[in-house]
Structure 1
Amino acid sequence: MEAVTGNRPHVLAVPLPAQGHVKPLMSLCRQIAKHGIKVTFVNAQSIHDKIVSASAEEDDDSNDSIVMATVPDGLTLEDDPESSHTLFETLPKTMPQTLKELIERINSSNPNERVTCLIADLSFSCIFDVADKMGVEPVGFSPLSAACLAMLIHALKMLEQGYLDTNGSLKNVDEICVSDYILSWRKDELPWRVYSDLKAQKVFFELVKGYKEASKAKWWLCNTCYELEPAAAEFLPNAFPIGPLNLLDSINPVSSLRSANFYSEDSSCLSWLDSKPDGSVVYISFGSFAVLSQQQLDELALGLELSGRPFLWVVRPDLANGSRVVYPDGFLERVSGLGEMVGWVPQNRVISHPSIACFLSHCGWNSIMEGMSRGVPFLCWSCFSEQSHNKRYICDVWENGLKIDFDEKGIRSRHEIKKKISMMFCDNKFKENAVKLKEMCCKSIGEGGLSYKNLEKFIDHLRR
């Protein structure tokens, strides 16, 4: 990409409208901006409103090279604005035009800072046509594992070959392989899989069809490191592992941090963690999207109580199937001092705290990267999509965690939860493996590492 002499490179960044996609792309953009490159970060209006509402500080564009911009949600009168997947359905239809108009406004307002590069979530690669028409270089971004990206890239071929139906469900087989060197994908692990909601699954599978345009980008920036997934990284010709991205904010700090949270962080939990012994606390979080039934929440609460271990539990307001959480009778009184429940936390800081012993997680890739890069072992509680595939990497490949199993009724019981917490504290191999993986991640993102070199190469490319 050639920039006109005297002009400032300008990156337009477009994430998928989900917390686990917005957050790592923002971490990348902070580092790009640190090198004097202007960044315009584009969210759907409703996502932007969530971020602004959750931010405790006023943003000042004059002191930051990241400008926050919005495009309309694209909702019609027939769309349900409360549906969790509505934006995934509407934005691909409307974004190509609204993004084109945004680029035209930016270019006309300041000819010396014309948009030179579009970094888009690969699920939105349908907008690469816009980049091509506007003379802007397209770059793909994936906040998922390299193994998951490999599956998404090859899903349409598998649809054509008859392994998948039009809803994205497996046909006539129980699992499929992308490569002999990547874990196979079982029918309940597919990245677009949504249990008991075929409509939502169809919406997510439609997004997968956008990956057919991914080849238009020569760069696929991936939130992983080569050492973790060498076979999957090599299987993807355009992949450039640059992660774990969460480490960038601490290894290469910037003075002004843009918020990327959908919920307001409660930092008071850090003082509570200060009061606990090193390596004693079980941290529990299911991310920003997963929900549990009230019965399952009861079992989790009682399992944590039975364990007798201190615990920090992130309880979103909508965690109980979108409703307010009701705890078992007397639970709050019985765990007073032992347990701490909060609505949202600064997860990077929490996981870095010396009192944290393990992370009971939904196994979203963002959380895996954050926990792994801090040397924290996992208790795996996968909820949907590729999280079960991620869980198998943790338990069977990297061996830095344990899975919490369902019973015959599809519930993770209080006794199973207590059992697995006890096993985690009794067997030091999980912590030992977690520390080795942390060292691997830190080496890769640190100066001279493979992720460091890939990111450096990309930023040098932007500045040419």
Structure 2
Amino acid sequence: MRNKHVVVIPFPAQGHVMQLMEVARCFTSDGLKVTFVNMEFTHKQVMSAWSDGQSDLMQMVCITDEMEPDDRKDLRKLLEAMSRVGPNKLEELIKGINKVDDDEITCIIADNCMGWVIRVAQKMGIRQATYYVGSAANLALLLSLQKLMEDEVIDTKGVPLKNEMVQLSTTMPSMDPAHFPWLCMGDPVSNQIIFDIMVLEGKEAAEASDYIICNSHMELEPGAFSLFPKMLPIGPLLSTTRSAKQAGHFWKADNTCQNWLDQQPVCSVIYVAFGSLTVFDQNQFEELALGLELTNKPFLWAVRPDMPYVYPSGYMDRVSSHGKVVSWAPQQEVLNHPSVACFVSHCGWNSTMEGVSNGVPFLCWPYVGDHFSNTTYIRDIWKTGLGLDKDESGVVTRGEIKSKVEQLLSNKTLKENALNLQEKLPSGNSSYNNIRKFIDWIKEGGDNLPANEEAQTSC
């Protein structure tokens, strides 16, 4: 019997690759054949860091962007190169696979911000779906762009025209236009590139796709799913629920974390990690280091290997009895450990979902993009964490860090809220049913789309 064969292709960034890798592994565990397509430079990183066994049903391949390594640090050049080179390379790859593989490719799952992939699927007559790596609220925002322009909330370049809060529907939280994700990438040039290529093309890709799946849950964002029933929540996507190790890391995870956590008291450890994009200057890094030291509590701190930070003089010796610093942590396993008391985080959506799924309170330190709207969920909607305030020079001081950690750990209500939210996300829930329906849709190969029944009922 021939297997249904699916192509999965993520945007070349850590959080995107990890989420779509988990989607792919869900597919293979249900008998689907998957070709996972990375860009060449991320493919090498993933394969060098992957120590867990790979499924016979998933092959890892890559296509080139034909760029020089240093040029990839320029977002504009990267996006333009992928849009220019990617379509032909992907089409060639698919044709080559179909020539030699008895199981022809019948569906493409593309990262929502890779609009050119959906255009390839349409050209080749292959069914397609998009996957959105952020919150359903931000996906709803993307799908509401035309209305926001018509209502003169933003102009055609995504720039806010009004200084007032916006609600996409009465069942969704208010949004500050100044914190729309494409406006929080740093400099104006990067913001515009994000809007033109990733946001506008992402909107077109989502609208053209047969379905949109995302790593969220009806209990977390009911208003967004009610507004757009085409969005199918299949999260939280966690490898720990399958007793597997998370795949898709760009760096090898330090597996000594578990042994160290085993030696710490229950609910005592401050876990600190800021994902794959956050960059501090040396002064802010030192304030963070000294703030953790001042708490005088056990802490596990992930400091990326690509960051050339210098620790304060004598720091490692002073904190050696209660602090552990690693280059990259197996985060899902860490957050699932009973010793972890709280999570100091940039609040990327992966980290947000992993913390929520484990009932861990947050200390929010957003950096770019959707981190700010995710912080709003954590701090104001779910009420499972606190924010950090910067001083007049824009620095989060060591004193602020110490103070907020103490407030967070002494606040029983925040912990109770975190545990209550966790209980709303059990296994065998609506998200599980949704991914089952989606897989059945792929296997059946027909035109009947898997319905988000809860969203349709609540409309």
What is the TM-score when the length of structure 2 is the normalising length?
0.91
**Measured at CA, do residues 187 and 411 of structure 1 come closer, stay the same or move farther in structure 2, by a change above 3 Å?**
farther
CA distance in 2, matches of 1:380, 1:82: 26
Give the match for residue 419 of structure 1. Answer: 403
Structure 2: 5+ residue stretches without partners: 445-459
Deviation by residue 1:366-401 (Cα, 9 ceiling, x = unmatched):
001111111111010011111111111111111111
Is the aligned partner of 1:97 residue 2:92? no
The answer (yes or no) to whether the contact 2:271–2:299 under 8 Å persists in 1 is yes
CA deviation after TM superposition for structure 1 residue 159, in Å: 4.3
Instruction: Give the aligned residue type for 2:395.
Output: I
**Measured at CA, do residues 258 and 327 of structure 1 come closer, stay the same or move farther in structure 2, by a change above 3 Å?**
closer
CA distance in 2, matches of 1:174, 1:92: 35
Instruction: Give the aligned residue type for 1:463.
Output: K
CA deviation after TM superposition for structure 1 residue 410, in Å: 1.2
Give the match for residue 345 of structure 1. Answer: 329
CA deviation after TM superposition for structure 1 residue 300, in Å: 0.8
The answer (yes or no) to whether the contact 1:167–1:201 under 8 Å persists in 2 is no
CA distance in 1, matches of 2:80, 2:145: 19
Q: How many matched pairs?
A: 442
The answer (yes or no) to whether the contact 1:11–1:115 under 8 Å persists in 2 is yes
CA deviation after TM superposition for structure 1 residue 152, in Å: 1.7
Identity %: 40
Give the match for residue 12 of structure 1. Answer: 7
Deviates more, 1:367-376 or 1:164-173: 164-173
Instruction: Give the aligned residue type for 2:222.
Output: P
CA deviation after TM superposition for structure 1 residue 135, in Å: 2.2
CA deviation after TM superposition for structure 1 residue 329, in Å: 2.1
Is the aligned partner of 1:152 residue 2:163? no
**Measured at CA, do residues 389 and 69 of structure 1 come closer, stay the same or move farther in structure 2, by a change above 3 Å?**
same
CA distance in 1, matches of 2:205, 2:241: 34
Give the match for residue 138 of structure 1. Answer: 128
Is the aligned partner of 1:357 residue 2:369? no
- SS of 2:309's partner is coil
CA distance in 1, matches of 2:411, 2:275: 26
Give the match for residue 261 of structure 1. Answer: 249
**Measured at CA, do residues 96 and 157 of structure 1 come closer, stay the same or move farther in structure 2, by a change above 3 Å?**
farther
Residue of structure 1 aligned with 2:40, choices 45, 48, 56 = 45
CA deviation after TM superposition for structure 1 residue 142, in Å: 1.0
Instruction: Give the aligned residue type for 1:335.
Output: V
Is the aligned partner of 1:27 residue 2:12? no
Deviates more, 1:284-293 or 1:405-414: 405-414
- SS of 1:123's partner is coil
Instruction: Give the aligned residue type for 2:233.
Output: P
**Measured at CA, do residues 308 and 270 of structure 1 come closer, stay the same or move farther in structure 2, by a change above 3 Å?**
same
The answer (yes or no) to whether the contact 1:120–1:140 under 8 Å persists in 2 is yes
**Measured at CA, do residues 186 and 93 of structure 1 come closer, stay the same or move farther in structure 2, by a change above 3 Å?**
farther
Residue of structure 2 aligned with 1:431, choices 415, 418, 424 = 415
- SS of 1:245's partner is coil
Deviation by residue 1:122-171 (Cα, 9 ceiling, x = unmatched):
11133222212222111111121100111122235434654334653323
Deviation by residue 1:212-243 (Cα, 9 ceiling, x = unmatched):
23222232111000011000111113111010
Is the aligned partner of 1:454 residue 2:434? yes
CA distance in 1, matches of 2:74, 2:393: 28
CA deviation after TM superposition for structure 1 residue 99, in Å: 1.3
Give the match for residue 118 of structure 1. Answer: 108
Structure 1: 5+ residue stretches without partners: 1-5
CA distance in 1, matches of 2:222, 2:39: 34
The answer (yes or no) to whether the contact 1:51–1:260 under 8 Å persists in 2 is yes
CA distance in 1, matches of 2:261, 2:14: 25
- SS of 1:147's partner is helix
Residue of structure 1 aligned with 2:205, choices 207, 213, 216 = 213
CA distance in 2, matches of 1:253, 1:33: 15
Instruction: Give the aligned residue type for 1:152.
Output: L
The answer (yes or no) to whether the contact 1:404–1:417 under 8 Å persists in 2 is yes
Instruction: Give the aligned residue type for 2:293.
Output: E
**Measured at CA, do residues 258 and 134 of structure 1 come closer, stay the same or move farther in structure 2, by a change above 3 Å?**
farther
CA deviation after TM superposition for structure 1 residue 88, in Å: 3.1
CA distance in 1, matches of 2:76, 2:242: 34
**Measured at CA, do residues 196 and 33 of structure 1 come closer, stay the same or move farther in structure 2, by a change above 3 Å?**
closer
The answer (yes or no) to whether the contact 1:89–1:203 under 8 Å persists in 2 is no
Instruction: Give the aligned residue type for 1:237.
Output: P
- Root-mean-square deviation (CA, aligned residues, Å) is 2.0
Deviates more, 1:87-96 or 1:399-408: 87-96
Is the aligned partner of 1:378 residue 2:362? yes
CA distance in 2, matches of 1:209, 1:36: 34
**Measured at CA, do residues 195 and 43 of structure 1 come closer, stay the same or move farther in structure 2, by a change above 3 Å?**
closer
What is the TM-score when the length of structure 1 is the normalising length?
0.90
- SS of 1:200's partner is helix
CA distance in 2, matches of 1:262, 1:218: 31
- SS of 2:73's partner is coil
The answer (yes or no) to whether the contact 2:240–2:332 under 8 Å persists in 1 is no
Give the match for residue 452 of structure 2. Answer: none
**Measured at CA, do residues 227 and 172 of structure 1 come closer, stay the same or move farther in structure 2, by a change above 3 Å?**
closer
Is the aligned partner of 1:66 residue 2:73? no
CA distance in 2, matches of 1:344, 1:14: 24
The answer (yes or no) to whether the contact 1:40–1:69 under 8 Å persists in 2 is yes
Instruction: Give the aligned residue type for 1:318.
Output: D
Give the match for residue 3 of structure 1. Answer: none
**Measured at CA, do residues 303 and 73 of structure 1 come closer, stay the same or move farther in structure 2, by a change above 3 Å?**
same
- SS of 2:163's partner is coil
CA distance in 2, matches of 1:359, 1:188: 26
Is the aligned partner of 1:226 residue 2:218? yes
- SS of 2:105's partner is coil
- SS of 2:182's partner is coil
| 1:268-279 superposed matches below 5 A | 268-279=256-267
CA distance in 1, matches of 2:255, 2:77: 31
- SS of 1:411's partner is coil
